[in-house]
Structure formats: C-alpha cells, structure tokens
Amino acid sequence: MNNNETDANINEVSKSESITNQITDLRREVDYNTRDYAIDFLVAQFKEAEFFINPEYQRNFVWDDVRRCRFVESILLGYPIPFMFFSDNDDGRCDIVDGAQRTQSLDAFLSNDLVLSDLKKLTKLNGLTFEKLPPPIKRKFCKTTLRVIVLEEGTSLEVRAEIFSRINSSALDLKPTEIRRGAYTGEFIKFMTDCSKKTLFEQLCPISKNSKDRYEDIELITRFFAFTDDYKGFVHRVGDFLDAFVESHQNDFDRTVLEAEFDNMLSFVAKYFPNGFKRSATGQFVPHARFEAIAVGVALALREKPDLIPAVPTDWADITTEEGARFKYHTTTHASNNKNRVTGRIEYVMNMLLYGKER
C-alpha cells in the first residue's frame, strides 16, 4: 500500500469517526420516556399549570370549532390519537411541546365551553356539551388515556423548539380529496382516476406533478360530477357535499352515461375555449372555481342543447380581456363556496353559452 492510499484510508476513518461522534453527541441531547395520561388528569394538570404551554416557541390557538369537535368525536369513537410530546422541567412541571391544540380543545370540552356540532358519525351528539352526555359516556371519555412522549428533564429549550418545529413542518395535513380517496374506496374512485388520465383533460387542465401527487386532478373531476348531478342542492361546505356524493356513488353509478358527458364537455371546451380551463393563454394552473364554472356550465348547457354553438364568442372567459371582467368577478373576486357564489358562476357560463348574456 503506498502513502497516498494510506492517507486516504486514514482520512476515511477520521471522517467516519467524526460523523459517528456528531450523531452520538446530538442524540445525547434527547432522552425520553412514554407515559399514558387519562384525559381528566391531563386537563386537571393543565388547569393547574402543571402541564403548560411555553409561549417562547408555541403558536397561538388556531383550531376552529369544526376541528375541535372532530377531535373529540375521534376520541369518542375510539380512533387512534397521535402521540403528544411533553418535556419535563426542573421545577417538576411539564412543558407541552406538541399537543397544545388538543389539550386546549379537551379543556374547552370538559368545561362545557365547546358545543359539539357538524359531527359526521356521532350525529346524535350534535348540539350537546360535555355535561349533556350520558354519565357512562362521560366517565369513559374522561378515563380514556392519551399516550405522551415525555422528554427527560435537562432537554434544552433549543432542542424542544427544534422538535416542535420539525413535528409541525413535517406533518403535512391531508387534503380533503386525499381523505376521500381513503374513506370511499370503490369503483367510482377508480372511474374518476381513469378520467384524470384522459389526454384531452391533461391538455386542457394543466396540473403540476406535486398537485397530481396529492390528487388535485381527482378533486376537480369530483367537483364536476357532483355539481353536474345537483349543483342546486349544494348548501355549504364543499367537502361535505363532495363526500356525500362520492359515498352515494361508491359502487352504484352508470359509467357509460357519466363518461360520455365528461368526454362531450372536454371536446366542447377544446373546440370553443382557446385557453382550455386556464385563466389566460399563459396561465400555469386552474383554480377550482374556474374549472367547476366552465366544466359544469358547459355540461349543463349541452344537456339543454346537445348541438350547441356558443351564442357569443368565449372571449368572456379570458380574464385578461375587457370582456373577461365579469367572469373574473365570478371566479376570482371573493370566489367563496357559499351557495349563491357556486350557483352564480356555474349559471353564468351556462347562460353565456346558451343566450350570450346573464339571465
């Protein structure tokens, strides 16, 4: 072995030792154990500030009532709850590293400050507070244990803040369409997936790879079928509306009819809308409101007149033109999902195609 090879081997060993030492040293900064706390005990300790929220790195309370009620419902149903992270302090108290939103929600519920609402499974509990629940249910809820990973005393504030940051930055919330795919498996989801792979759809409706990985294409197609089915029946909360539609069609739908309508809509858009579903010729993505307005509006117009030729040129669909100002209002300005806004943008497209004006 020559000197160069010897030096290279020494450097490689030194590098390996350096890497091992760095990992070992940093791992020593984190030591923990696992504890199970009953909900009533956890809340009592929180009220006494024995379990506390450190304002130096914690966020403000951000959960709305819908999310708080959904969390309570999950516990009542016996669903698995993700671990929380606490940290022992040298004063004997515990710092809530991750779990502040859940702890505060439980506190509000046991204090009767949270009225259960919009529960999807336990519908008979809607409108009730904790004190209105049957005694056996209250006792069972209070004695339900939540698993907590507790960082040992001596874990620095810097390390606790780092753990909090990593937990909350790496936990990517599931989009409604991702949850829907998991909850309502069946032939209808497979059918919509097939629709998303149609060449014409991909050409007219550009979607980035990242968005496709999170099923943005399925979200748009779900909106198309749900709103063409009964857009006037939509009241509020698009997610609930789409969930109900997909659930009712899991394995009960006429593929031939639905696919024909989808294909006819795409062909019409390709023929008469130069920008497809995009806002302009240079558009890079397609907003939900714009897609559903054009797609559903076109389908409904074709139902009334299968051999339809637009009453006026579709310049009104390009928001960069003077003619596009009204459509821009319908699909971008305060394009909320309340009933009037959804109905308004769909019917605007339908009426422009059939009559050349709003009605």
Confidence of residue 168 (pLDDT cuts 50, 70, 90): low
Asked whether residue 19 is assigned to any structural domain, the reply reads no
Is residue 5 over pLDDT 70? Answer: no
183: confidence class by pLDDT, cuts 50, 70, 90: low
Residue 1's pLDDT is 55
- Other beta carbons within 10 Å of 231: 20
Beta bridge partners of 52: 95
pLDDT of 161 over the 70 cut: no
219 within domain boundaries: yes
Residue at 23 is within a domain: no
Number of independent structural domains in the chain = 2
Q: Last residue of some domain: 154, 170, 186?
A: 170
- Residue 337 and residue 235 in one domain: yes
Q: Between 178 and 47, whose confidence is greater?
A: 47
Do 324 and 186 have their domain in common? Answer: yes
* In a shared domain, residues 215 and 351: yes
186 and 54 share a domain? no
CA–CA separation, 350 vs 359, rounded Å?
10
Whether pTM > 0.85 for this model: the answer is no
Q: What is the mean pLDDT of residues 5-27?
A: 60
Looking at the structure, do residues 219 and 186 belong to the same domain, yes or no? Answer: yes
Domain span at residue 115 reads 31-170
Q: What would the pLDDT profile of 49-98 be if each residue is shown by its tens digit?
A: 999 987 654 555 568 899 999 999 999 999 988 888 888 888 889 888 88
Whether residue 10 is predicted with pLDDT greater than 60 in this model: the reply is: no
Domain boundary among 107, 141, 170: 170
Of the candidates 306, 304, 286, the residue with the CA atom closest to the CA atom of residue 295: 286
Residue 4 lies in a domain: no
Residue 190 has pLDDT above 80, yes or no: yes
Residue 26 has pLDDT above 80, yes or no: no
pLDDT in tens, 194-232: 999 999 999 999 998 888 888 899 999 999 999 999 999
In a domain, 91, yes or no: yes
Same domain as 202, residue 139 = no
Residues 107 and 186 in one domain: no
pLDDT of residue 279: 83
214, 172 contact by CB (below 8 A): no
Indicate whether 109 and 180 sit together in one domain: no
CB 141 within 8 A of CB 39: yes
Average pLDDT of every residue of the chain: 85
pLDDT of residue 165: 56
User: Residues 16-27: what's their mean pLDDT?
Assistant: 60
**Pairing between strand 84-88 and 145-151?**
parallel
Tens of pLDDT along 339-351? 888 999 999 999 9
Say yes or no: 98 and 115 in one domain.
Answer: yes
Q: How far is CA 329 from CA 51, 149, 332, 335, 358, in A?
A: 49, 50, 6, 8, 13
Whole-angstrom distance between the N-terminal and C-terminal Cα of the chain? 89
Same domain, 270 and 310: yes
Q: What is the pLDDT of residue 151?
A: 79
In a domain, 16, yes or no: no
d(CA 234, CA 240): 10
Q: Which of 114, 135, 170 is the last residue of a domain?
A: 170
Q: What percent of the chain has pLDDT over 70?
A: 81
Residue 68: per-residue pLDDT: 93
Q: Please write the tens of the pLDDT for every residue from 28-37.
A: 445 667 899 9
Does 166 share its domain with 257? Answer: no
Question: Does residue 322 sit within a domain?
Answer: yes
Q: How far is CA 115 from CA 85, 128, 130, 306, 338, in A?
A: 27, 6, 8, 50, 23
DSSP three-state, residue 201: helix
Residue 256: inside a domain: yes
Long-range contacts of 290-293 (CB under 8 A, 24+ apart): 290/331, 290/332, 291/205, 291/220, 291/223, 291/224, 292/220, 292/223, 292/224, 292/227, 292/342, 292/345, 292/346, 293/327, 293/330, 293/331, 293/345, 293/346, 293/348, 293/349
Q: What is the pLDDT of residue 92?
A: 86
The tokens of 212 are what?
């496709």
Unique residue bearing structure tokens 């072995």: 1
Mean pLDDT of 277-282: 85
Which three-class secondary structure state does DSSP give residue 10? Answer: helix
Please indicate, yes or no, whether residues 156 and 217 belong to a single structural domain of this protein: no
Residue 174 has pLDDT above 90, yes or no: no
Question: CA-CA distances (angstroms) from residue 164 to 45, 87, 94, 190, 314?
Answer: 21, 11, 15, 38, 51
% of the chain exceeding 90 in pLDDT: 51
Query: pLDDT, tens digit, for every residue of 297-332?
Result: 999 999 999 999 999 999 898 888 887 888 888 887
In terms of Cβ atoms closer than 10 Å to its own Cβ (0-12, 13-18, 19+), residue 291 is buried
Instruction: Decide if 220 contacts 205 (C-beta within 8 A).
Output: yes
